[in-house]
Amino acid sequence: MEATEEQKILGIVREVLGKPGLGPDDDLFDHGGTSLAFVRVLAEIGQELHVKVRVGDLGGVATPRNITECVVREQAVAAANSEGDPA
């Protein structure tokens, strides 16, 4: 069974922060995350899921669930853009 985007992102966040009990609605910065760790999380997401999430897209809410919503949105935009491109 393939992991959902939220499960993948939660796994990345937990690994980078070293917080295996972190939940989907837990703010990274409230649980010991630093700006450097946050950049690492976004870089890992970009590598693993092939999508770029910009800090400004998050609206100041750094939770795995909010990051997932941004990733899904970016994936939908990329898919819509690729439909218009000739193969």
Average pLDDT per consecutive 10 residues, the chain (87 residues; last block may be shorter) = 86 96 96 93 95 88 94 90 69
Task: Report pLDDT for 86.
Answer: 60
pTM for this structure?
A: 0.86
Q: Is-contact 13 28, C-beta < 8 A?
A: yes
Task: Report pLDDT for 85.
Answer: 61
- Rounded Cα–Cα distance for residues 66 and 74 (Å): 12
Task: Report pLDDT for 26.
Answer: 97
Cβ within 8 Å of residue 19, ≥6 positions away: 13, 31, 32
Task: Report pLDDT for 42.
Answer: 95
Structure tokens given for 31: 């649980």
H-type helices in 1-87, by residue range?
5-17, 35-49, 64-84
